[in-house]
């Protein structure tokens, strides 16, 4: 969802950085390609837990963006105090962290519904998010992502993102010039149909140009082929784990359903070399991670309508208008994040 914006936020290094907005605001037609370079997934090196956000202290490490949504969503982002007072950000007795859209107040069409966006920060590493359920529904546009300063110079990794009641997750990079998704081994142009994929990733390429700007912000994107990777289907299996590895070899994203989370993740001893093919992989040979990704901040947010969900509301088969959906509180019973924890390893 990338439109440049300046945000004031508390990051874990206690500094203030400018951010960009959410990525991937234009959906594209998928195409299959073949790949020959397979990530080594950090060669089985040992990772050390540096931070874990969960339970009653989760929000101690986050600040809340409470300015106008730069992606033009129909939301009022609240401060931490206001969001907690409104019951939009809280921790359940079982330790589950809830971040939600207001689903109780009836509005008039055109009024904005309260929502929240929380932030924290990191540089490179292994980021593991255990998510019980994610937002979905007509007009809803959620994302879990990482972004650096001076967008797009610091880079952006969209780990979970889509709109409405989409089935498949979309994963996207946004960067400065000089980064692309490597499809140099794509099938010859005289071939047709769905091209065979090799073992570099399991998803479908949507776009290959990562360079982003206010006038072109598609980024280089994958669409998952897992029908339980996003939205309602993800929630019906009690969610699972998204793991993102940013290393000198590139960027890799895995998605594990609740019933198939690797034992090493459960034991807090993650070993990506044993996880098999990632859902998405951007090779550092065509996108130098040290050059394009710095001072990344982890972000959860929910917006409504806006540049992507608003533009696709009718074509997604949603009833009425996006503004009418925002006015109706019954539309947002499923518009919330339920997060078990976020862990960062180096």
* 338 falls within a domain: yes
pLDDT digits (tens, 9 = 90+) for 224-247: 999 999 999 999 999 999 999 999
Q: What is the pLDDT of residue 15?
A: 23
pLDDT digits (tens, 9 = 90+) for 164-195: 999 999 999 999 999 999 875 433 333 333 43
Q: What is the pLDDT of residue 121?
A: 72
Q: What is the pLDDT of residue 214?
A: 81
Residues 6+ apart with CB under 8 A from 230: 134, 136, 160, 162, 166, 167, 168, 169, 170, 224
Per-residue burial over 324-338, b = 16 or more CB atoms within 10 Å of its CB, e = otherwise: bbbbbeebbebbbbb
Encoded tokens for 146: 């990482």
* 335 falls within a domain: yes
Range of the domain at 218: 50-345
In 3-state terms, what secondary structure has residue 46? coil
Give the global pTM: 0.84
* 133 falls within a domain: yes
* 314 falls within a domain: yes
Separation CA 181–CA 202 (nearest Å) = 14
* 14 falls within a domain: no
In 3-state terms, what secondary structure has residue 180? strand
* 12 falls within a domain: no
The residue ranges of the chain whose pLDDT is under 70 are: 1-44, 111, 115-120, 184-199
Total structural domains within the chain:
1
pLDDT digits (tens, 9 = 90+) for 310-345: 999 999 999 999 999 999 999 999 999 999 999 999
The catalytic residue positions are: 156, 161
* 9 falls within a domain: no
Q: What is the pLDDT of residue 32?
A: 33
The enclosing domain of 327 has a CATH number of 2.60.120.200
* 205 falls within a domain: yes
């Amino acid at each position: 969802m990338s439109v440049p914006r300046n945000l004031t936020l508390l990051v874990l290094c206690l500094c203030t950085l400018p951010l960009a907005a959410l990525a991937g605001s234009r959906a594209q037609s998928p195409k299959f390609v073949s790949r020959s370079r397979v990530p080594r997934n950090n060669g089985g090196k040992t990772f050390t837990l540096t931070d874990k956000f969960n339970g009653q202290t989760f929000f101690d490490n986050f600040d809340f963006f409470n300015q106008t949504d730069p992606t033009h969503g129909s939301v009022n982002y609240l401060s931490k105090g206001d969001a907690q007072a409104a019951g939009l950000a809280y921790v359940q007795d079982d330790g589950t962290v809830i971040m939600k859209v207001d689903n109780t107040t009836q509005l008039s069409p055109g009024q904005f519904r309260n929502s929240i966006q929380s932030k924290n920060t990191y540089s490179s590493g292994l980021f593991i998010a255990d998510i019980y359920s994610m937002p979905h529904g007509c007009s809803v546009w959620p994302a879990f992502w990482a972004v650096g300063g001076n967008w797009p110079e610091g880079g952006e990794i969209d780990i979970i993102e889509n709109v409405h009641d989409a089935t498949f997750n979309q994963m996207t990079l946004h960067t400065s010039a000089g980064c692309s998704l490597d499809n140099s081994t794509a099938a010859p142009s005289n071939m047709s149909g769905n091209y065979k994929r090799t073992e570099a990733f399991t998803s479908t390429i949507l776009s290959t140009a990562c360079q982003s700007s206010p006038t072109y912000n598609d980024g280089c994107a994958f669409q998952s082929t897992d029908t339980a990777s996003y939205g309602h289907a993800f929630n019906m299996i009690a969610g699972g784990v998204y793991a993102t590895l940013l290393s000198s070899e590139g960027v890799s994203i895995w998605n594990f359903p609740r019933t198939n989370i690797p034992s090493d993740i459960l034991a807090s001893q993650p070993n990506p070399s044993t996880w098999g093919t990632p859902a998405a992989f951007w090779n550092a040979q065509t996108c130098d991670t040290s050059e394009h990704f710095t001072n990344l901040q982890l972000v959860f947010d929910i917006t409504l309508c806006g540049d992507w969900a608003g533009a696709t509301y009718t074509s997604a088969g949603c009833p009425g208008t996006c503004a009418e959906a925002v006015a109706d509180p019954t539309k947002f019973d499923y518009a919330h994040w339920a997060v078990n924890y976020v862990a960062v390893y180096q």
